[in-house]
Chain A
Amino acid sequence: QKEVEQNSGPLSVPEGAIASLNCTYSDRVSQSFFWYRQYSGKSPELIMSIYSNGDKEDGRFTAQLNKASQYVSLLIRDSQPSDSATYLCAVNTGFQKLVFGTGTRLLVSP
Chain B
Amino acid sequence: KAGVTQTPRYLIKTRGQQVTLSCSPISGHRSVSWYQQTPGQGLQFLFEYFSETQRNKGNFPGRFSGRQFSNSRSEMNVSTLELGDSALYLCASFRDTNTEAFFGQGTRLTVV
Contacts and interface: CB of A to CB of B under 8 A. Distances in A.
Nearest to A6: B42
Contacts of B58: 97
B48 interface: yes
A31 B97 CA distance: 11
B87 to A, nearest CB: 13
B98 A31 contact: yes
B43 interface: yes
Report, as a range, how many residues of chain A touch the other chain.
20 to 34
22 contacts: A34-B101, A42-B105, A44-B90, A46-B101, A46-B103, A49-B100, A51-B98, A92-B98, A94-B56, A95-B56, A96-B48, A96-B50, A96-B92, A96-B94, A96-B97, A97-B48, A98-B33, A98-B43, A98-B101, A100-B43, A101-B42, A102-B42
Interface of A: 31-32, 34, 36, 42-46, 49, 51, 88, 90, 92, 94-103
Interface of B: 31, 33, 35, 42-45, 48, 50, 55-56, 58, 88, 90, 92, 94, 97-106
